[in-house]
Structure 1
Amino acid sequence: MKKVLVVLTNVTRYANTNDATGLWLGEATEFVDELTQAGLAVDYVSPKGGFVPLDPRSMSYTDANSLAIYESATFQRKALTQSLRPDQIVPTDYQAIYYTGGHGVMWDFPHNQALQDLTRQIYDQGGFVASVCHGIAGLLNVRDDQGNYLIAGKTVTGFTQAEEILAGKRRVVPFLNQKVAEAHGATFRKKRAYKSFAVRDHQLITGQNPFSARAVGKLLVQGINESGH
């Protein structure tokens, strides 16, 4: 059975500060819950492998299903302490790759060539490429075989400039996902701040904010079922 690869951050703090960040828990657990209910298996990878920190603020936004996954020995081992390295991944084992968010990804996702190569290989074999919230940072610089940005000419969404201002992190993040996505040729769609919104453009599925992880999961399950993989 083919699986879905979930990408997590290794970054523990906002750059040049003592403010903690990391994975936004629900963006992993809510998505995984949707896949698990559909009978799909997941693996977890991070840029360095190993330890994945949690954004402490994300613990205030959990539900019973998310907490059950978080409390499981499997998630604690495979996602939070022993996440795989990119060089341990065999792309043909996966029918999709999904980039989680949390502000930490803004520093270790955008320029990770190994993750970009995995993304392109999964996409080229007909697989899905997905992200939620800040996770779109992992897609911004992926290029196809012709050297064009993968998101060019595609409709995407992600954490918006307005949401970054509302989060109080506009001056802390190294760039704005919305602006770079548009600069790289994507059509960026958005709805109200902090409301669930996800969009699918063929093999590309993206969600706007932390409240969109389940919507991304549902679209991915639907896409995988339609593709017959």
Structure 2
Amino acid sequence: MAPKILFVLTSHNKLGNVDKPTGWYLPELAHPYHILHNKAEITVASPKGGESPLDPSSVEAAKDDVSVNFLKNNESVWKNTQKLDQFVGRAKDFDAIFYVGGHGPMFDLVDNPTSQQLIREFWEADKIVSAVCHAPAVFYDAKLSDGSLLVAGKEVTAFTNVEEEQAGLTDAVPFLPEDALQKASGGKFVKAAEPWGEKVAISGRLITGQNPASATAVGEALAKALGI
């Protein structure tokens, strides 16, 4: 039986108070999907269901073959998402949950009660919980049934303060993922030696990737953890 993975995309398409569109970031879905879709059964969900907004800047930035081919051939993946609340209470039906990055999740998934419940249910059902780039921010305040923070004492990574600064979007986000996760994890935030370098943090069943360059490695880490 192929393992089942729930991919979570944002439904948010506007970047804070900046008059710019946002959404999910192309390579951060394209690369893990490319690695996993032939070996696992992937279900895609978003808070509102239906079409999940693709960040147009990521289409301009991502010219690699995997991203280009995904964009051309896999529209149905992000245009027909299921509603996230349909998956509450169904962690037993899956083997992993994976949050795709982009700035969108910072606005509609971070404090989303449904998302937080899913994270708790997946973790407490001994499933893999993972995210890349901005999406690990959804874990910063995720609490387990005993009230403890999911990331407390666990090594974790996400888009860094320097990367946000270099992207010129520090003021556009509600908070910085690095700061929030550094605090919530108790100082266990890790990052690549250089900004935009590849970095994946694996802490038991928690798998996080730093940035777009880490999307392939996150997909590979998921595959390895799932034994596929």
TM-score (norm 2): 0.92
Aligned positions of 1:38-187 closer than 5 A: 39-59=39-59, 60-72=61-73, 75-79=74-78, 81-89=79-87, 90-186=90-186, 187=188
Whether the 8 Å CA contact 2:62–2:68 is kept in 1: the answer is no
CA distance in 2, matches of 1:45, 1:62: 26
Q: Deviations over 1:63-102 (max 9, x none)?
A: 2223222223xx42242x2211122223222111111111
**Equivalent AA in structure 2 for residue 143 of structure 1:** K
Aligned to 1:208: 210
Aligned to 2:226: 224
Quick check: 1:199 aligned with 2:201?
yes
State the SS of the aligned residue for 1:164: helix
- The CA deviation at 1:10 is 1.1
State the SS of the aligned residue for 1:175: coil
Quick check: 1:6 aligned with 2:18?
no
CA distance in 2, matches of 1:4, 1:128: 9
CA distance in 2, matches of 1:211, 1:185: 23
Whether the 8 Å CA contact 2:155–2:185 is kept in 1: the answer is no
CA distance in 1, matches of 2:26, 2:41: 18
Aligned to 1:20: 21
Whether the 8 Å CA contact 1:26–1:62 is kept in 2: the answer is no
Aligned length: 222
Q: Deviations over 1:149-182 (max 9, x none)?
A: 1000100000001111011011111101111112
CA distance in 2, matches of 1:108, 1:161: 20
CA distance in 1, matches of 2:109, 2:157: 17
